[in-house]
Amino acid sequence: MSAKAGAGGGPAGLAPAATRRSRPIARSPLLARLLPVLGVGALAAAPFVLDPFHLGLLGQFLCFGIAAMGLDLLWGYGGMMSLAQGTFFSLGAYCMAMYLKLAASGGSLPDFMVWNGVSQLPGFWYPFHHFAFALAAALLVPGLLGGFVGLLIFRQRVRGVYFAILTQAFAVVVTTLFIGEQGMLGGFNGLTNFTSLFGIQLASTRGVLDLYAASALAAICAYAVCRALVTGRFGRLLIAIRDGENRVRYLGYDPAVFKAFTFGLACALAGLGGALYVGQIGIISPAAMGVVPSIEIVVLVAVGGRGTIAGAIIGAVLVKFLENGLNSLFPGGWQYLLGALFILTVVAFPRGIAGVAADVGRLWRRVAPTGAAESGRGMGV
């Protein structure tokens, strides 16, 4: 151990710093090992600690966390910043909302259709009578759409800011499309007035607890999938594509396929988050699907720390609670504070919360007395 530390301080001392930049948490064994355990523990303890109101909020924020982890995979590792993740989140939400709406309507036509003079349930609504179909659609519709759109974009070798602009245009197009579908999808008002899921009232304490548990479980699974991907060869290839797409291409890989797959996966995760979210919030409308909600997910990842996965979900939950608290103090002012937070992060803490935590951890190990440092290292091994 001491020999290794000595080598690190020698002529090769430059080396660890360069690695840290791309994978801060992975190189800190103590954090890397304890963080998932602490996270799962905190999620498990939350129902016993928080009142139903705050538990419900946590459940909702975890849904944004799932979408944020997907974006971190895409942006933090793959270098592709999407400004449409809110749109894919909402697509997942609409899929689940259609099931909830049909369930709430009993055997009759959903209320907004009646108001709009639609006399018969449109054909594409029929399969949404089944929960399993709705859940699968919430993952597959955003996932396949994202993968397909991604393939078209990446085959044309559109990259960087041009990719971001295209995704933003996509968000506007889809939002406009949904606003226009008054009779089919509720138009500007969206879908609302849900009642129950599997016979449990959504707004009841039991409903809140169940939806929280589902969100927490989904967040844990999404985290596990993302971590497995980024710690394997796939994650290293994503970094390689980000840092040298041409080199990757001339090694025989088709970068467009890998980028489209990653985009599709990020969109599927966003859809999963949306599907879990809609039951908890009770409404989905085009207001949640445009550019602003999409940028908000980008901010969650940036504040949490890009390229760490854990940072994305931690950032999402913390920023969302902050938003909630500040929103009640300064109604309407939150958008400005969100913008200020984003600028502060980019200028002062480009590696986000995860980066700051890694720096603090390293500083602690350096200044802490030998005993503390030893025990810290022991836990890491």
Partner 1 sequence: MSTVLAIHGLSVVFDGFHAVQDVSLTVEQGSVHALIGPNGAGKTTLLDAVCGRVRPAAGRILLQGRGDIGRLPEHRRARLGIGRKFQTPSIFPGLTVRENLELAAAPPSLSGTLFSGLHAERTAAIAEILETTRLTGAQDLPAGALAHGQKQWLEIGMLLVQEPTLLLLDEPVAGMTAAERGETAALMATIAQRATVLLVEHDMDFVRRAAGTVTVLHEGRVLCEGSMAEVAADPRVVASYLGREAVRYAAG
Q: Assign residue 49 a region (left: φ > 0; alpha: ψ between -120 and 50; beta: otherwise).
A: alpha
Site for partner 1 in 133-162 (CB under 8 A): none
| Beta partners for residue 191, in sequence order | 284
Can you tell me which of 3, 18, 37, 161 binds partner 1, judged by CB under 8 A? Answer: 18
248 lies in the binding site for partner 1 (CB under 8 A):
yes
252 lies in the binding site for partner 1 (CB under 8 A):
yes
Site for partner 1 in 195-234 (CB under 8 A): 229, 232-234
Total count of residues recorded for the chain: 381
Minimum distance from residue 24 beta carbon to partner 1 (Å): 12
Minimum distance from residue 35 beta carbon to partner 1 (Å): 21
Minimum distance from residue 304 beta carbon to partner 1 (Å): 20
Q: Assign residue 63 a region (left: φ > 0; alpha: ψ between -120 and 50; beta: otherwise).
A: alpha
Residue type at 198?
A: F
Q: Mask 21-60, x = binds partner 1 (CB under 8 A)?
A: xxx-------------------------------------
Minimum distance from residue 27 beta carbon to partner 1 (Å): 11
Can you tell me which of 33, 180, 254, 344 binds partner 1, judged by CB under 8 A? Answer: 254
Can you tell me which of 94, 258, 277, 334 binds partner 1, judged by CB under 8 A? Answer: 258
Stretch that binds partner 1, among 117-125, 247-255, 317-325, 345-353 (CB under 8 A): 247-255
DSSP string, 274-304: HHHHHHHH-EE-GGGTSHHHHHHHHHHHHHH
What value, to the nearest 5°, has the Cα angle with vertex 307 and ends 244 and 279? 125
**H/E segment holding residue 128:** none
350 lies in the binding site for partner 1 (CB under 8 A):
no
Minimum distance from residue 370 beta carbon to partner 1 (Å): 26
Six token digits for residue 135 = 């859940």
Minimum distance from residue 85 beta carbon to partner 1 (Å): 22
Minimum distance from residue 135 beta carbon to partner 1 (Å): 23
Residues 6+ apart with CB under 8 A from 355: 24, 305, 311, 349
106 lies in the binding site for partner 1 (CB under 8 A):
no
- Among candidate residues 280, 250, 236, the one with its CA nearest the CA of residue 66: 280
Can you tell me which of 1, 6, 9, 14 binds partner 1, judged by CB under 8 A? Answer: 14
Residue type at 142?
A: P
335 lies in the binding site for partner 1 (CB under 8 A):
no
Rounded to the nearest 5°, which phi and psi values hold at 190?
70, -155
Binding residues for partner 1, total number by CB under 8 A:
31
33, 44, 311, 336, 357 from 37: Cα distances, Å: 7, 11, 15, 35, 17
Six token digits for residue 298 = 């980008």
Q: Mask 293-312, x = binds partner 1 (CB under 8 A)?
A: --------------------
Interface positions with partner 1 (CB under 8 A): 12, 14-15, 18-19, 21-23, 229, 232-234, 236-237, 239-240, 243-244, 246-255, 257-258, 261
